[in-house]
Structure 1
């Protein structure tokens, strides 16, 4: 289970009557996919809710729930060798654990946000930018979805 100080942030984003809302989740919601999905299901939303979790400036997890369906994406599959949350995502996806020296590759559903405005190609381009930290990558995702400034305000990123 990750210590609270290892979770940089855990957020829920959802559209309510077409307007994006962002709510902070506690680090305790970011212990595994099921706990995070359960926390996201309590939010209303047109098309479900999206969870955005960044851990120790190392990786991030996107979780989208809509009804009983849970879709997940991990920014770096190699993080599963060090982090319980990443290992849980890999297990949830039914993937084998990777070796510690494997390349940093995303895993999971890269299309989970396509209907909201961020398709797999756009997400892959964001993930390929070696200059960005996970919070900055998620800021770009949030910008593509239409709530970048709100996301930046909540997590304390300054706009460039």
Structure 2
């Protein structure tokens, strides 16, 4: 199996609490191609509130993962990404959701655990709204980048500055 190309807009960030403070570090871009590998890396980082992984792919979609003890919660920002991207397809397989037919997709639909961050202050409706703003075909004013969506999530969860620094490193800003 050929390795998928890694885009200059791809990133993977690990977020965790240490000494009552959120920290965010850049992970190797190669983990953006392998859900199992990404979960494995997240399991290695202990954290008070669980470990969070946020991966942005090709400025098109993101995957959010949260590991708390043995529980793994996963969210894919757009189910349609599974048509073209191995990581998105792996997320749907993990969630036991079939890859949709292209003709069935007319809007951005998230898949997975929309309550992934509810206990941290980001409810399902807000997270769904963040995902829907990534609809580049929408007449509304979508964000320019997946990083905007991830930064919005980070700001609502209280680690906006740490995420901003990590994204600057990851994206070479």
TM-score using structure 1 length:
0.91
The alignment's C-alpha RMSD in Å is 1.6
1:7 shift after superposition: 5.8
1:31 shift after superposition: 2.0
Q: Which has the larger radius of gyration?
A: 2
1:43–1:49: 8 Å Cα contact kept in structure 2?
A: yes
Gaps in structure 1 of 5+ consecutive residues: none
Residue 113 of structure 1 is aligned with which of 112, 117, 120?
117
The aligned runs of 1:10-21 (5 Å cut-off) are 10-21=12-23
Matched, 1:122 2:134: no
The Cα offsets for residues 16-73 of structure 1, whole Å up to 9 and x where unpaired, read as: 1320000111012222221111000111211210000000001000011112211100
Relative contact order, higher structure (CA 8 A, sep 6+): 2
Residue in structure 1 matched with residue 100 of structure 2 by the alignment: 98
Residue aligned with 1:86, SS: helix
Matched, 1:149 2:153: no
Residue aligned with 1:61, SS: strand
Question: In structure 2, how many angstroms separate the alpha carbons of the residues matched to 1:61 and 1:32?
Answer: 11
Residue in structure 1 matched with residue 148 of structure 2 by the alignment: 136
Residue aligned with 2:47, SS: coil
Residue aligned with 2:154, SS: helix
With 37-46 and 145-154 compared, the bigger mean Cα shift is at: 145-154
With 52-61 and 63-72 compared, the bigger mean Cα shift is at: 63-72
Residue in structure 1 matched with residue 47 of structure 2 by the alignment: 45
With 86-95 and 14-23 compared, the bigger mean Cα shift is at: 14-23
Residue aligned with 2:7, SS: helix
Question: In structure 1, how many angstroms separate the alpha carbons of the residues matched to 2:64 and 2:47?
Answer: 16
1:6–1:55: 8 Å Cα contact kept in structure 2?
A: no
Gaps in structure 2 of 5+ consecutive residues: 136-141
Question: In structure 1, how many angstroms separate the alpha carbons of the residues matched to 2:123 and 2:165?
Answer: 24
1:79–1:86: 8 Å Cα contact kept in structure 2?
A: yes
1:32–1:89: 8 Å Cα contact kept in structure 2?
A: no
1:4–1:27: 8 Å Cα contact kept in structure 2?
A: yes
2:108–2:131: 8 Å Cα contact kept in structure 1?
A: no
Question: In structure 1, how many angstroms separate the alpha carbons of the residues matched to 2:25 and 2:18?
Answer: 12
Question: In structure 2, how many angstroms separate the alpha carbons of the residues matched to 1:70 and 1:11?
Answer: 16
